[in-house]
């Protein structure tokens, strides 16, 4: 299919997604560069100027190690457009780990807050600030009212938000919360890395990511591999060779 026709098709998909999501104009998108992923997302990529939720299970709800790494690579391409703010509940963001993922430390601003309420307030302020391209915030959950406020803050300057679901001090979770206002909701778990043939040690980091919810799109599941090189491929996250794991999509097709 010619590139011009593909561009027109992507524009139409974005307009349809905008109507389904209740927005007036389609948002820009950040493609993964792989149709197995991009075809599940409205407009052919991760919607920008919106906020997204990345969660885990088990100990991930307390440590958020895998979810933080995945969210960092989701946000990394946006660091070329402005500052990236990371809002923390605990002062345990591992800088060498971010550097290992190719995240530009010179673009990062860290903010430490005392609780979830302060995290959401800081997130809203940062999203509405000029010169900020992306904001990552570690918080337990976002209710519908807070989610709508975050979306208005995203639209103010076109920033993109990433909620990293985390309960950093353990304990029972809050009840009555929902992430239904998020543009996408991802559930992430660490996956086994695959070292290059003939080389010792670990290979690039991998995650099993389930796109559980997507406004204007459809669910899917893939095993992603992280790229460290900023100029390698269209996106630092790529579907691992031979491990696409499109189980949810295939199930959806069989039901249809």
Residue-wise pLDDT for 66-98, tens only, equals 999 999 999 999 999 999 999 999 989 988 889
Residue spans of the domains in the chain: they are 9-255
Q: What is the mean pLDDT of residues 230-236?
A: 67
CB contact burial 137-157 (16+ within 10 A = b; e otherwise) = bbbbbbbeebbebbbebbbee
Distance between CA atoms of 221 and 209, rounded to whole angstroms? 6
Give the residues across from 110 on adjacent strands. Answer: 86
DSSP character at residue 180: T
Distance between CA atoms of 173 and 154, rounded to whole angstroms? 26
User: How confident is the model over 152-177, as pLDDT tens digits?
Assistant: 999 989 999 999 999 887 766 555 44
- Predicted confidence at residue 198, as pLDDT, reads 66
Question: Is the pLDDT assigned to residue 252 strictly greater than 60?
Answer: no
Question: Which CATH superfamily includes the segment(s) 9-255?
Answer: P-loop containing nucleotide triphosphate hydrolases (3.40.50.300)
Q: Which of 141, 69, 83 is nearest to 111 (CA)?
A: 83
């Amino acid at each position: 299919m010619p590139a011009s026709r593909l561009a027109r098709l992507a524009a139409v998909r974005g307009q349809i997604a905008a109507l389904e999501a209740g927005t007036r104009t389609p948002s820009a998108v950040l493609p993964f560069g792989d149709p197995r992923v991009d075809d599940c997302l409205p407009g052919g990529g991760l919607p920008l100027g919106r906020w997204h939720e990345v969660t885990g299970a088990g100990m991930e709800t307390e440590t958020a190690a895998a979810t933080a790494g995945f969210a960092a690579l989701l946000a990394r391409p946006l660091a070329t457009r402005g500052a990236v703010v990371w809002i923390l509940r605990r002062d345990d963001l591992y800088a060498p780990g971010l550097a290992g993922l190719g995240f530009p430390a010179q673009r990062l601003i860290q903010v430490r807050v005392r609780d979830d309420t302060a995290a959401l307030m800081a997130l809203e302020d940062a999203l509405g600030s000029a010169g900020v391209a992306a904001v990552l915030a570690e918080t337990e959950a976002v209710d519908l009212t807070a989610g709508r406020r975050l979306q208005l803050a995203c639209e103010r300057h076109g920033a993109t938000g990433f909620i990293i679901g985390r309960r950093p001090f353990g304990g029972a979770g809050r009840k009555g919360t929902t992430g239904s206002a998020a543009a996408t909701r991802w559930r992430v778990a660490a996956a086994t890395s695959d070292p290059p043939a003939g080389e010792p040690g670990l290979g690039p980091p991998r995650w099993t990511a389930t796109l559980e919810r997507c406004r204007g799109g459809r669910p899917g599941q893939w095993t992603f591999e992280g790229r460290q090189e900023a100029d390698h491929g269209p996106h630092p996250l790529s579907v691992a060779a031979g491990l696409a794991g499109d189980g949810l999509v295939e199930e959806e097709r069989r039901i249809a």
